[in-house]
Amino acid sequence: MQDFLSNILRWSTVTNLIDILVVWYVVYRLIMLVRGTKAVQLLKGVFVIVAIKVVSLILQLHTVGYMVDMIITWSVPAMVIIFQPEIRRGLEHLGRGSVLPWTRTDEHQQEERLVKELDKAIQYMSKRRIGALITIQQNTGLEDYIETGIPIDADVSGELLINIFIPNTPLHDGAVIIRDNRIAVAAAYLPLSESSLIPKELGTRHRAAVGISEVTDALTVVISEETGGVTVTTNNHLIRDLTRTDYLKLFKAQLIPQDTEKQNRFQTFFSDLKRKGGTKR
Ligand SMILES: Nc1ncnc2c1ncn2[C@@H]1O[C@H](COP(=O)(O)OP(=O)(O)OP(=O)(O)O)[C@@H](O)[C@H]1O
């Protein structure tokens, strides 16, 4: 028994465990990053190539094996070129310290600012019934949708958001996408949900907000042009006619990460809302 315990507690076991946890975390973050983007197709391609390599090794298919080796060799520099923007963004993220929890203070300040500016824009647009659709990227990459919009790449400010959605201006149609606390694009096209559970009185703006929440973990805010009502969609939930207190509570719960506390607060928020009559789709 003692032998067994000392074996388990051996340093090499601990390092192996750390090794597995680090690999698991990196793979998890990678999957979350590429979910919903074109990179998923590419990953499938990588798996096919690896499978062919394994089969060629087992069946001793030397020419096939050689060809696969060539593809693998050349695909590494090719991937660096193809994914240059994503790699740059990832490294910038690392540089800003958002990966290590103890260096995240600055990022929390940015997220608090994001909530403040969103609130400013929502209050203004809701009072004046200016229709708006704002999607905030979370863990899932939104590259495919960002590509459909008009690049802005600006700090988030309430004034800029309001300006974008002023009716009959070139950028007001479509969605604003916020990524890494910056307005990435305006006038982006989001996927329309085909759900029959969406109330009939809600049109395509709300349908697009639900659509993006079905395929990614993004948080989307809709301001109705007809009623001025504020709706939020996230993780397949649609919550209509939120009061200022409610949407601020939701934003703080989901956009300002409190590490382990974040998930609990988010769940508590939804259970509170469900009790108050919020919609779960
Ligand atoms: N797939 C889409 N992606 C992004 N924006 C979209 C999409 N479909 C529609 N929109 C936006 O929604 C607007 C149309 O809104 P519509 O009146 O149909 O929606 P609604 O849900 O009834 O909202 P409202 O209460 O504001 O009228 C379009 O002008 C466009 O800006």
Note whether 211 and 108 are same-domain residues. yes
- Cα dist. 229→141, 161, 247, 257 in Å? 28, 17, 11, 26
Q: What is the mean pLDDT of residues 205-230?
A: 95
Domain boundary among 96, 120, 153: 96
pLDDT (0 to 100) of residue 280 = 45
Domain boundary among 34, 69, 96: 96
Note whether 119 and 182 are same-domain residues. yes
Residues 219, 222: Cα–Cα separation, whole Å: 10
pLDDT, tens only, 117-167: 999 999 999 999 999 999 999 988 898 899 999 999 999 999 999 999 999
Whether 281 maps to a domain, the answer reads: no
**Cβ–Cβ under 8 Å, residues 265 and 253:** yes
ipTM above 0.90, yes or no: yes
Write the CB contacts of 226 (distance below 8 Å, at least 6 apart in sequence). Answer: 129
Helix residue spans in 59-174 (DSSP H): 62-82, 84-95, 105-128, 143-146, 158-165
Note whether 22 and 43 are same-domain residues. yes
Best mutation site among 177, 193, 204 for ligand 1, i.e. most ligand atoms within 8 A of its Cβ?
A: 204
Best mutation site among 171, 205, 224 for ligand 1, i.e. most ligand atoms within 8 A of its Cβ?
A: 205
Note whether 112 and 235 are same-domain residues. yes
pLDDT, tens only, 256-267: 876 545 555 555
Cα–ligand 1 centroid distance for 208 (angstroms): 7
pLDDT (0 to 100) of residue 132 = 97
Provide the domain count of the chain.
2
Note whether 147 and 190 are same-domain residues. yes
Note whether 256 and 135 are same-domain residues. yes
Determine the structural domain holding residue 168 and report its residue range: 104-276
Helix residue spans in 175-278 (DSSP H): 204-215, 244-255, 260-276
Domain boundary among 77, 96, 115: 96
Ligand 1, CB cutoff 6 Å, lining residues? 131, 133, 173-175, 189-190, 192, 202-206, 208, 224-226
Q: How large a percentage of the chain has pLDDT more than 90?
A: 45
Note whether 55 and 135 are same-domain residues. no
User: Model pTM greater than 0.80?
Assistant: no
pLDDT, tens only, 6-20: 766 677 788 888 889
